[in-house]
A and B are shown apart, each in its own frame.
Chain A
Amino acid sequence: MADLTSIPADQLVFTDDEKKQIQTWIGRYPTADGAVMRALWMAQEKFSFLPPEVIQLVADAVGIPYAKAYGVATFYTQYFKEKKGAYVLDVCTCFSCQLCGGYDMMHYLEKKLGVHKGETTEDGLFTIQEAECLGACGSAPMLQVTNGPYVHNLTEEKIDAMVDALREGKMPAFTSVTLPQDEDDMGGNRRSDVSVVEAYSVRPVSETIK
């Protein structure tokens, strides 16, 4: 198992720029410890997940004990301790999303990709995860792609399109969801600097809520 997931020693380094960035972060807190979360994020973006050797690298770069960094890394859901698929699909099934089709979308995704939640597809492209409330309750159901863009107002078609795009390496664009009062007062979304805009609308009826 270690062979498949370990980072080769010559790659297990931070570049000078990365080290400088860590120092900048350290400078923003009373002690270096405050920078560990940012450093772990940077490491995860670089190595795609956080195996123990990467956490050790972060601990050394920040200047804190390895055990401390490891305890922090295992506390949070978004830090991946195991290698995931190229795209991690965090489907929210909590509270509003539960009652507005979140589980329907998750089961659809599971059937479509042929894996259960928590698993990665054979081709290593997709991991489906069940997420807690992502703070997009009015545009339920929704999902987040690899700790990045939100995909709101999910439908089966939308999921199909998103998966197809991801297979070609195209991440979903940032979507701005228009405030209902902006629709009334301004006839639509207020932002001129986003390409994708959606409006809040009636949420789908859930077939299943578990």
Chain B
Amino acid sequence: MASKAGDWRSYQRVILPPVKDLHQVDVYEQHGGYKALRDVLTTDAWDPASVTNEVKKSSLRGRGGAGFPTGLKWTFMPPVNPDIPRFLCCNADESEPGTFKDRQIMEYNPHLLFEGMVMAGYAMTIKTAYLYVRGEYADWITLMERELEKAYAKGYVGENIMGSGFSMDIVIHKGAGAYICGEESSLMNSLEGKRAYPRIKPPFPAQKGIWGYPTTINNVETLACVPLIIQKGGDWYASIGAQTAPGPLLYGISGHVNRPGVYEYPTGMLVTDLINDVAGGMRGGKKLKALVPGGSSTPVLRADMIDGVTMDPDGLREAGSMLGTAGMLIMDEDTDMVSFLRRITHFYHHESCGQCTPCREGTGWLEKLVTRIDEGEGNLRDLDLLIELCSQMEGRTVCALADAAAWPVRHTITRFREEFEAKCRPSLVPAGGVLANA
């Protein structure tokens, strides 16, 4: 299969363009920043619906991991009712292991995010937007607060933006260390000052969001793309990269490569191009063993599974994984997959909010089983039990954390079965235990 990223070598970055000090508002303006916003708000060329339509035309899909079409999500907001407030939340919780791309936007191009938020607010007639940033990003919150103040001072955010009559506030909300807050309904509860348990859906955020009001939640990178789409056109955006999920993408490459880091390229890059070319190949001349393409929740791919695989939702789905956040972890031949999985199960166990039974109890049980195997005290029926437990957790919970915890277990064991079996002791007891569950 061929790369869907076109001539990526001559790709010109737009989300993180090579402009010195672009994070400062003056530089951003000089670079053409906030011009698209001025066109949208102060000319007759754009009414709210047309902004949404342009986003739909672009086929922009959410960059938070779920990949839901953004334009379509915006249409879920109910018709404007002047008595009912409406909200936008930007999800900057970025806690998915392997993901560190939103932080680059927050550090190097925050005004692009602010501009995108105001445009989204205009499209959906929203007066207040919350930028929910994970608490660990304290230094970047400070940076953004400083730049946001400047944006306010210049009239790009706040009352009567650029004299247009449209007003929108951006409030930066500081998280305090919980992966679950990246789940949109948990984010809403956290914002409301409650314990951050996810909510049952329906109702969906656009019907009943924060404080019961219509709310749209979008990822940082998603909103950062909006000014680009307005400025250069939805068609332009749709022409970049993979056809079914186009646009520029921030690939976060980490692990056993020579050149880790966040790279901006079109969607649909070949995995092999990213590893061998972009990231400078495997370090120390080692061979690739495994790759997690989109953050810890996405199923691991063996080295023999990545030939011709492209980094877009369809490509990865065909390969047996998901795009997720495009946070790629590259693992070389010396990696112990059992210990690797153990640490992942610990992560999910620690981060489970504890609200619903299968996740609260299941993540702990998964961790204990994998730990036992890693310590050399496990046996073969533990492996079968682990797979069964995955089935018991998936699809039964309030939110997807249980699925995200189960997928790595299921697929790492399935795809590296020999390695797990090698660490197990053989057992004469059949799978399911002595007291056989029918």
Q: A residues bordering B, Cβ < 8 Å?
A: 28-38, 40-41, 62, 64, 68, 71-72, 75-79, 90, 93-96, 98-100, 132-140, 144, 147-150, 174, 176-177, 179-182, 185-186, 190-193, 200-203, 205, 209-210
Contacts and interface: CB of A to CB of B under 8 A. Distances in A.
B13 A181 contact: yes
B135 A138 contact: no
Contact of B263 (A79, A135, A181): A181
Given A132-B95, A190-B21, A191-B21, A138 B262 contact: yes
Interface in B88-122: 94-100, 102-104, 107-108
Contacts of B364: none
Which residue among B97, B103, B175 has the maximum number of chain A CB atoms within 10 Å of its CB?
Answer: B97
Given A78-B135, A193-B21, A94 B97 contact: yes
Q: Which 3 A/B pairs are nearest by Cβ-Cβ distance? A: A33-B193, A77-B177, A95-B97
Contacts of A140: 254, 260
B178 A99 contact: no
Contacts of A100: 254-256
Contacts of A132: 95, 97, 179, 347, 350-351
Interface stretch (B303-311, B333-341, B381-389, B397-405): B333-341
Interface of B: 13, 16, 18-24, 85, 94-100, 102-104, 107-108, 134-139, 169, 171, 173-179, 190-196, 210-211, 213, 252-264, 283-284, 296, 327, 329, 331, 334-336, 339-340, 342-344, 347, 350-351, 353, 374
B252 A138 contact: yes
Contact of A147 (B135, B173, B211, B260): B135
Given A138-B254, A150-B139, A182-B18, A75 B178 contact: yes
Given A185-B13, A192-B20, 6 more contacts: A29-B192, A31-B193, A33-B194, A35-B193, A76-B178, A202-B257
A141 to B, nearest CB: 11
A31 B178 contact: no
A135 B137 contact: yes
A96 B327 CA distance: 10
Contacts of A200: 259-261
Contacts, number: 207
A209 B253 CA distance: 19
B252 A95 contact: no
A191 B23 contact: yes
A136 to B, nearest CB: 6
Nearest to B22: A190
Contacts of A28: 169, 171
A193 B20 CA distance: 10
Given A181-B13, A209-B343, A203 B256 contact: yes
B405 to A, nearest CB: 13
A181 B18 contact: yes
Contacts of B193: 29, 31-37, 62, 64, 68, 72
Contacts of A98: 339-340, 343
Contact of A95 (B18, B178, B296): B296
A204 B327 CA distance: 19
A94 B195 CA distance: 24
B279 to A, nearest CB: 8
B18 A185 contact: yes
A181 B264 contact: yes
Contacts of A94: 97, 343, 347
Given A75-B196, A180-B261, A137 B99 contact: yes
Contact of A210 (B24, B134, B350, B374): B374
Contact of B191 (A34, A62, A210): A34
A147 B136 contact: yes
B428 to A, nearest CB: 29
A30 B340 contact: no
A94 B102 CA distance: 18
A152 to B, nearest CB: 11
A179 B21 contact: no
A210 B254 contact: no
Given A30-B85, A75-B195, A138 B100 contact: yes
A208 B257 CA distance: 18
A135 B94 contact: yes
A209 B255 CA distance: 13
A79 to B, nearest CB: 5
Given A33-B193, A34-B193, A135-B100, A95 B344 contact: yes
A179 B283 CA distance: 19
Contacts of B18: 181-182, 185-186, 190
Given A176-B107, A180-B263, A210-B374, A203 B283 contact: yes
Contact of A133 (B97, B108, B178, B259): B97
